[in-house]
Chains A and B, each alone.
Chain A
Amino acid sequence: MAGTGSAPETQLTSRERIKRALANGKTGRISKDAANAVMLGVFRCAAYITTLVLVAIIAYVVINGAPHISPDFIFGWPQGVNAEGGIWPTIVSTLYVTALAMLICTPIAVLAAVYLAEYAKQGRLVETIRYAADTLASVPSIVMGLFGYALFVEAMGLGLSMVSAACALALLMLPIVMRTTEEAIRAVPRYIRWGAYGLGATKWQVVSKIVLPSAFGRIATGIVLAIGRAIGETAVVLYTMGQAINLPISPLDSGRPMTVHLYLLANDGINMNAAYGTALLLMLIILAFNLFARYLSRKSR
C-alpha cells in the first residue's frame, strides 16, 4: 500500500510521508541547472573583473611609461625644473629610506611578536596589544605622515630627512611585520618545540634555535611584503622627507622619493611622460619585491 499515492495521509508512516514529500518536491531539474549556470557565470565575471582591472592598470602604465624609460632616465639627474632628464636621486632616496625603515622596524616587530606568541600570558593585555597593532595598521597614511612630521621632524628635531621618513614608514610597517611574524611563530608545530624541550632546552634556546629558524621563511616573506607596501607609500614620506632633489648620503639628508616625484610631476602636469616612466619603474620595483616574497614563502614551505 505504501507508495501508491492513493492511501489516506493517516495510514502512512512518517517515513513514507517524508518520501512522498521528497518525491513531490516542486523544483525541477532544468531550473536547478539554470540557476547553477547563471551563478557560475556571475562568480566567474566577478573573478575576471578583478584580474581585468589589474591587467588594465599595468597595460596603461606600461604603454604610457615604457617608451620613456632609458638608461638616461633611470641613471640620470633631473634637468630644468626637475621635470626633464632622469630620476636617479629619487630611486636612491626611495631605496635608502626603505632599507632604513626595514632596519628600524624589523627588530622591534620581531621582538614584539616573539613576546606575544611565546612569552606573554594569553589574556587581556595580549589582546589589547594585538588590537592596538591592528588599529595601527588601519591608521590612514596621511595621518601617519602628519604624526611623523610632528614627532620626528619637529619634536625630535630630525628635520625633513631620511631618518624621519624611515621612522614614520617603520610605524606603518610595524603592525604588518609583527602580525605576520606572530603567525609564522605560531605556525611552528607544537611537537617540534616539545622535541627541543625534551632534550633539555631552555625556553630561550627553543625560541632562538628552533622556533625562529623554522619560522624564518615566513617572517622574511612578511618583511618583504611590508617593504613593498613602504616603497609605494606617498603621504607618509611627503611630510617627513621633503622634496629636495638630492642624493642622500647621511640619514639626516633630505631627499625626494619616487612616489613624491611622481605626485609632483602629475600634479603640476609638467611632464606626464616622466610621470608614467616613474610610475612604471615604481611598479617594477614593487613587483620585484613581491616576486621575491613569493619565492621566499615557496622556499620555506
Chain B
Amino acid sequence: MSVYQNAPAPEVSAITAANFDFWYGDFHALTDVNLNIAKNKITAFIGPSGCGKSTFLRCMNRMNDLIEGTRCEGVMTLDGADIYAEGVDPVDLRRRVGMIFQQPNPFPKSIYENVAFGPRLQGVTSKSDLDDIVEESLKRANLWKEVSNQLSKDGLALSGGQQQRLCIARVLAVQPDVLLMDEPCSAIDPTSVQKVEDLMAELAPEMTIIIVTHNMQQAARISDCTAFFLQEVAGEPATLIEYGQTDALFTSPIDKRTEDYITGRFG
C-alpha cells in the first residue's frame, strides 16, 4: 500500500493513475500504482535505479507501446479521459504529452528545422507561421538569444546544455499540455542544469511538468509534489511507496523506506 501526504485531489489533476500495473513481456515491472498529478505543477519521481519511475513516466504518453511485448492494466487518464481506451491514437496523445529524454536528441537538422519539425507534422506549411513558432518556442526555452543569428546551424553543433534546451523548444513548438522529463539534467553540465531548472519554473504555471530524477536535491528544489518508487525485491514488481507535497515528503516522510532513501541510507 502506498501512503499519501496532501496528495493532489483528482479535481485539480492533469493525469490520474488507478490500480496501474505494467509488464515487459513476462516481467511484471510495476504494480498497483495510484496517484494524481497536479495540473500546472511540477511533480518529481524519485527512487533508486530500476524502480520503475521512468517506465511509469513513459506510460503517460504511451511511449512504451513502441517496445514489443509490453502491456498494462488499470486506468490512466489525461484530463479525465482514459488514454488507454480503444480509439485513442497514441500519435495524438504524444503531441499533447511531450517528452524530454536523458540524452539530448536533436535531429541531425538545422536548429530551425528541429523546432519546425513538430508543427510541420501537424501540417503547418506557411513560412511566416513557422518563423513565428520557431522564434516563440526558442524564446520560451530561453535559447533564442544564443541562437537567433545562427538558426541554420546544425542542432548537433550546439553544446549539450543548449541541445537539451533545443529539444525543449522543439517540444514546446507543438504546444503540449504536459511535459514529461526523463532525467533531463543527468547528461549536461551544472550551469546548463541551472538554466533548465529555471526554465521549468517559468513553464510550470501553464504546463504540467513531470520529472524523473536521481538527484534528490533537484527534486526538493524544483518540485511541488514528489513520488517515491521502489522495487523492494529483485524480480518482483516495483510500486509507489509514498506520494505527496514535496516539503512534507522530504521533511517528515511517513514511510520508513522513504526516510531511508532520502537520508541516503540506500540507493
Contacts and interface: CB of A to CB of B under 8 A. Distances in A.
Nearest to A214: B108
A200 interface: yes
Contact of A199 (B66, B106, B170): B170
Contact of B61 (A121, A189, A196, A198): A198
A298 interface: no
A198 B98 contact: yes
Interface string B95-139: 100110101011111000000011001100000000000000000
A191 interface: yes
Nearest to B167: A195
A205 B120 CA distance: 11
Contacts of B99: 194, 198
A200 B63 contact: no
Given A194-B101, A195-B170, A202 B117 contact: no
A75 interface: no
Contacts of B122: 200
Nearest to B58: A194
A194 B63 contact: yes
Given A194-B63, A205-B121, A209-B117, A199 B105 contact: no
B66 A197 contact: yes
B103 A199 contact: no
B257 interface: no
Contact of A200 (B91, B101, B167): B91
A205 B109 CA distance: 15
Contacts of B106: 195
Given A197-B63, A198-B61, A210 B94 contact: no
Contact of B94 (A200, A209, A214): A200
A213 B174 CA distance: 22
A192 interface: yes
Given A191-B103, A209-B117, A198 B91 contact: no
Contacts of A199: 94-95, 98, 117-118, 121, 170-171, 174
Nearest to A122: B68
Interface in A149-203: 189, 191-192, 194-202
A209 B118 CA distance: 11
A184 B154 CA distance: 20
Contacts of A200: 91-95, 118, 121-122, 174
Name the residue in A194, A200, A201, A205 with the highest tally of chain B Cβ atoms < 10 Å from its Cβ. Answer: A200
Instruction: Classify the secondary structure of A's interface with B.
Output: helix
A121 B61 CA distance: 23
Given A191-B105, A210-B107, A214-B108, A196 B91 contact: no
| Count class of interface residues, chain A | 10 to 19
A216 to B, nearest CB: 10
A176 B101 CA distance: 35
Nearest to B99: A198
Interface string B72-105: 0000000000000000000111110011010101
A264 to B, nearest CB: 48
Contacts of B63: 194, 197-198
A192 B171 contact: no
Contacts of B121: 199-201, 205, 209
A192 B95 contact: no
A189 B102 CA distance: 13
A195 B108 contact: no
B70 to A, nearest CB: 14
A209 B121 CA distance: 10
A208 to B, nearest CB: 11
A191 B94 contact: no
A201 B94 CA distance: 8
Contact of A198 (B94, B108, B109): B94
A189 B92 contact: no
Contacts of A201: 91, 121
Contacts of A202: 91
Contact of B101 (A195, A205, A210): A195
Contacts of A213: 108-109
Nearest to B102: A191
Interface in B247-266: none
Contacts of B98: 198-199
A145 to B, nearest CB: 41
Given A195-B101, A197-B63, A121 B68 contact: yes
Given A209-B117, A214-B108, A197 B103 contact: no
A205 B123 CA distance: 12
B15 to A, nearest CB: 16
19 contacts: A121-B68, A192-B107, A195-B101, A196-B117, A197-B63, A198-B101, A199-B98, A199-B171, A199-B174, A200-B91, A200-B93, A200-B118, A200-B121, A200-B122, A200-B174, A205-B121, A209-B121, A213-B108, A214-B108
Interface of A: 121, 189, 191-192, 194-202, 205, 209-210, 213-214
Given A191-B105, A198-B99, 10 more contacts: A121-B68, A192-B108, A194-B66, A194-B105, A195-B105, A195-B106, A198-B171, A199-B95, A213-B109, A214-B107
8 shortest interchain CB distances as A-B pairs: A200-B95, A198-B99, A199-B118, A195-B105, A191-B105, A200-B94, A191-B103, A192-B105
